[in-house]
Amino acid sequence: MTKDVRSTEGKKPVTFSHAVAMTAVGVVGVIVAFWILASLAGIILFFVKIAVIIALIAGVFWLVSRLRH
């Protein structure tokens, strides 16, 4: 069995600019993920608020109709 020389040829030590670039990509990825999750949470919270308001209005109408009889 011969050793594959190509597997070690292309490996270079990580340079400072490469580390900075990867850190920047990671930070941007975290910000985008946070923005997407915050948007989804906001949309879900909006629908929950709408459902609570509708339930409260329906509850008031039900209570008024019960008290009239």
DSSP letter for 3, please.
Answer: -
Task: Give the whole-angstrom CA distance, residue 37 versus residue 41.
Answer: 6
Question: Would 10 be classed as within a structural domain?
Answer: no
Range of the domain at 58: 15-68
Question: Would 19 be classed as within a structural domain?
Answer: yes
Tally of structural domains, the chain: 1
Task: With cut-offs at 50, 70 and 90, classify the pLDDT of residue 4.
Answer: low
Question: Would 59 be classed as within a structural domain?
Answer: yes
Predicted TM-score (pTM) above 0.85: no
20-57 confidence digits (pLDDT tens)? 999 999 999 999 999 999 999 999 999 999 999 999 99
pLDDT of 9 > 80? The answer is: no
Residues in the chain, total? 69
